[in-house]
Structure 1
Amino acid sequence: MHHVLCGLAANTSLPSQLIDRLIAVADADIAADLVRRADLTRAQAAALASRVEESAVPLAYAGLLTADDVDPATRPDAALALLAERAGRVEWTRAFAEDPVVERREKLAACPGLPPDVVEILATDPDVRVVAELASWTSPETAVGLAGHPHAEVRRALAANEATPPAVLAALLTGEGLPPARLCLVCARERIPFTHDPHCPRLDCDLPPGASCDGSHESSTHETQRMALLNPTTPTEAVPDFAEHPSVLLRWALAGRRDLPPEVCARLACDPNPGVRADLAENPAIDDVVTRVLAGDREHEVRRRLAHNPLVPLEVLIDLARATRIGATLLPRIARASSDEVVGLAASPDPAARLLVAQRRDLSSVVREALAADTDAKVAKSVAPHPGLPEGMLRAMLERHGPRVAAQVAANPDATSALLETLTRHQAPARKALRAIAAHPNASVPALLACLADARARPVAARHAALPPSVAEKLLTDADWRVVEAAAANPSLPEDVMSALIPRPRSRGTA
């Protein structure tokens, strides 16, 4: 019954009066589906929050609860969710700033639009977690004031905040112009020198694995530098010296920056770590010289990531596609290809070039149909889901390439009911094709019944609106709970069946 009720909670055809009844018997699992309903009224949201306390927070984030519905004294988490959405009351912020529960002050510190007096209180909080959370989200003005904070964890949080002024970020990266930090997460609780065991057996320990301090707060300083390098507002002129830094993590953070000068890119292209080179390969900041160096990289992942660079030259991309497993995806450079380039790729004698352009879904009918008739199964498979292909071409594609293109043909939005039925009658139909058919809006009853015979397609078909109500009703007792839940969510279920599935709350005094 539990899976039935969860399915009903997600059923788009569930009438409002049955939603009310379901709320009256809901538990946390049922409530999780109810809060995602687009038709939930404010009154129903308030009733659900009263019934299942855990639902109040997602309901507040969804805008279904207002400040009038929430008492911060009894529902502090929901009140903080409203403050996070700028829907709470100003007076709540002052109360939470003095709350004895650290986690609540920490959540408050992440809320936007806090009054200046509340920000001031949080900036001097005795728990560094609260100040660090404030530093992660605060305004440029407050960031300047926190830059010299004695605790290194606050500085690390500031380094990740894109609102932190560039001059402060440069100082956090280089250490110049700031007083030394006096504390870090390690030396604040352990005798130094100390290095945290990555396999620490202490259950109450929350130090990061490998965190260390010998008095210089080295692991916190390292993480502050990494955050500053990842921060796009850190000034470009402050970062070049990190291209040969001994820390691979800092070089890795540097490699993804979109403002790298050519000489820094050239140095990183020779980095001994393939992860650094892979991030650099996808970076639009690299020039043609670095691009061609990376195109010949021995690591597959470097070449694959280079193929995803939006500025990679077309001829380089074709070479990469010929020798690198890129996957069935529309690459950024192909997405921005001109109409002349698209025509040229589609007419190329190289199947790798045709395969690239077959992923576009805005092709002209001439190009689209030429690719659909391609003798290369991979090309045909890529273009098969393209909308606008006539049924005759889809059938010809099936006849030519068989099971290799069946799932993609089934995924074509214009596939007709008759074509989908034909696919289910294929000898040993592809399981991926059955799942695509089960989800297709044009799937007919015979096609859906065939899909029910496949274990992985069965839950998908059980939810399809075209499934006969009598069949959906039988599936409510299926041995697979996923099928049961999907059948209960089927919008074709009659209202009287849905009503019968929801137990009525016991009246007071009922034994």
Structure 2
Amino acid sequence: MNHVLYGLAANPALPSELVDRLIAAADTDLADALAGRPDLSRAQAAALASRFEQAAVRLAYEGRLAADDIDPVAQPRAALALLDERAGLPQWAQVLAADPLVEHREKLAACPDLPVEVARTLATDPEVRVVAELALWTTPDLASQLAQHPHAEVRSAVAANEATPPAVLAALLTGAGLPPARSCLVCDRESTPFVHDPHCPRPDCELPPGAACDGSHQSTVHDIQQMALRNPATPATAAAGFADHPSMLLRHELAARTDLSPQAYARLAEDPIPGVRAQLADNPAIDEALIRTLATDRGHDVQRRLAHHPRLPLDVLVRLTDATRLGSPLLPRIAAASPAEVEELAASPHPTVRMLLARRRDLPAEIRDALARDPDAKVVKSIAPHPGLAEAQLQAMVERHGSRVLAKVATNPDASAALLEQLARHQPPVQKAFREIARHRHTTAPALLTCLTYRQARPIAAGHPALPPPVIIELLTDDNWQVVEAAAANPSLPPASMQRLVP
């Protein structure tokens, strides 16, 4: 790969005539990069698509090709992409339904709004994978018919299709009212009874670990039940009967459903497997009483998942901050806190609670400023990226807490050029800070030159438009290909240099 050309293909300042030259000289990798340019003209997109089908697929999905730009016989994958985007011609589906490549028919089966006759043709395809793909996306009427398909793999796809009628999903879940399946992927390939070795040594074996069939297609029947329990269109009354099922995987799927009765949730809260209880813990449908019960559950991941519950009482949240590690995302309950609750959280004696609140980026100025003065470094790290903080406040954070907050201060969108230069000179240096400084919109050349001396920040700094042009040109011959690509993609690269570099 020519990394200079690859970088140039992504350069937003590359003149249109040089884009034309790159298209003419492109190989597959370069064509993929050029397809990502948002400024391609219709003619350029069509020229690129005519030479490289993978680029045509991307352009089709991004809405930059029309049906007139594609020949479905010469470029079937691009035609399928347009059909998938509802931008292709209906007659293409007829042609592609007879395509000799299974992969193309399988992709067609997933396309929306297929003509009825095409869908029926695909429903009788000799390859099960094509029929299963159709079953996953098709209309309620055809899904109902395919629920009786003799192959269990097709029924599993019907069970996952949210357009499948609820009564049919209930039948798939229990097996009642449906003729038994006659085959599955296991008995298609192996003599039964057969249980697939999880450590199967055969390199060409495609069966999943534990796949089994003794004539009842048991592993695929289990998959059907799992898909049906995961499907929100499956009636809750049919699903609830699986609360005591011996399969942990099925109970785990059930615990994620939001339409069960309180009694069913209560049974799941007593499940012997912590993973099932953890799945239940962040289910938005459980009530406060069950939330409080799960808050005392020391099973693996239960309390952490519960902390992300959108209706968590604040007193429970406070207790959970001392019981589990909560990670870095803003918790839904804190994001939804009322103004009065925000004041309550800001005044909490628990630093972790104040840190969690400080992750919000819409705090009132007085609370934001109070958290910026917090004596605990982890609170200050959390509030440092908040917009609206003055330069004096950001500098005070660094003076009080030093290296512990430096990288987060560098992410503040209002950090000035002078402050970023100061952070780049900080001793001892902080590696994470250089990466943030190198991508900041206010960063100046002096700070970027410092960032270039640190390996992890160097590729980021090489792409910053504030870098002096002579430095960018020098970086085009760097030993690190990531630096070369970033420099070639830098919009401050002089046009004369671009002209010399493009074939």
- Please indicate, yes or no, whether the TM-score normalized by the shorter chain is above 0.5: yes
Spell out, residue by residue over 1:405-430, the C-alpha distance to the aligned partner (whole angstroms, 9 max, x if none): 11110000000001111111110221
TM-superposed deviation, 1:472:
0.8
Partner residue, 2:285 = 285
**2:174 and 2:69 mapped to 1: Cα distance?**
49
Deviates more, 1:122-131 or 1:210-219: 122-131
Partner residue, 2:204 = 204
Partner residue, 2:401 = 401
Partner residue, 2:163 = 163
**1:274 and 1:69 mapped to 2: Cα distance?**
55
**1:323 and 1:298 mapped to 2: Cα distance?**
9
Q: Does 1:258 align with 2:250?
A: no
What is the letter of the counterpart of residue 437 of structure 1?
I
What is the letter of the counterpart of residue 158 of structure 1?
V
What is the letter of the counterpart of residue 51 of structure 1?
R
TM-superposed deviation, 1:177:
1.5
Q: Does 1:11 align with 2:11?
A: yes
Deviates more, 1:410-419 or 1:271-280: 271-280
Spell out, residue by residue over 1:39-85, the C-alpha distance to the aligned partner (whole angstroms, 9 max, x if none): 01121122222333432211221222222121111111111111111
Unaligned runs of 5+ in 2: none
Spell out, residue by residue over 1:131-171, the C-alpha distance to the aligned partner (whole angstroms, 9 max, x if none): 11110001112111211111111110011111111111111
- Superposed, 1:172-321 pairs within 5 Å as 172-321=172-321
Partner residue, 1:23 = 23
Partner residue, 2:112 = 112
Q: TM-score, normalised by structure 2?
A: 0.98
Q: Does 1:501 align with 2:497?
A: no
Partner residue, 2:421 = 421
**1:424 and 1:206 mapped to 2: Cα distance?**
53
- Check the 8 A contact 2:439/2:460 in 1, yes or no: yes
- Check the 8 A contact 2:274/2:300 in 1, yes or no: no
Q: Does 1:353 align with 2:338?
A: no
Spell out, residue by residue over 1:13-42, the C-alpha distance to the aligned partner (whole angstroms, 9 max, x if none): 111111111111111221221111110112
Partner residue, 2:329 = 329
- Check the 8 A contact 1:26/1:52 in 2, yes or no: no
Deviates more, 1:97-106 or 1:108-117: 97-106
Unaligned runs of 5+ in 1: 504-511
Identity of aligned residues (%): 65
Spell out, residue by residue over 1:271-308, the C-alpha distance to the aligned partner (whole angstroms, 9 max, x if none): 22222111111111222232122212223521111111
Spell out, residue by residue over 1:226-273, the C-alpha distance to the aligned partner (whole angstroms, 9 max, x if none): 001111111111112211211111111111111122222222222222
- Superposed, 1:82-101 pairs within 5 Å as 82-101=82-101
Partner residue, 2:447 = 447
Spell out, residue by residue over 1:461-511, the C-alpha distance to the aligned partner (whole angstroms, 9 max, x if none): 1000111111111111111111111000100011110111112xxxxxxxx
Spell out, residue by residue over 1:341-373, the C-alpha distance to the aligned partner (whole angstroms, 9 max, x if none): 001111222222211211110001001000000
What is the letter of the counterpart of residue 192 of structure 1?
T
Partner residue, 1:41 = 41
Q: TM-score, normalised by structure 1?
A: 0.96
Secondary structure of the structure 2 residue equivalent to 1:239 = helix
Partner residue, 1:473 = 473
**2:368 and 2:106 mapped to 1: Cα distance?**
55
- Check the 8 A contact 1:24/1:51 in 2, yes or no: no
**1:381 and 1:328 mapped to 2: Cα distance?**
11
What is the letter of the counterpart of residue 435 of structure 1?
R
Q: Does 1:432 align with 2:432?
A: yes
Partner residue, 1:508 = none
**1:409 and 1:455 mapped to 2: Cα distance?**
21
Deviates more, 1:267-276 or 1:469-478: 267-276
Partner residue, 1:488 = 488
Deviates more, 1:60-69 or 1:107-116: 60-69
TM-superposed deviation, 1:377:
0.7
Deviates more, 1:172-181 or 1:264-273: 264-273
Partner residue, 1:509 = none
**2:352 and 2:439 mapped to 1: Cα distance?**
30
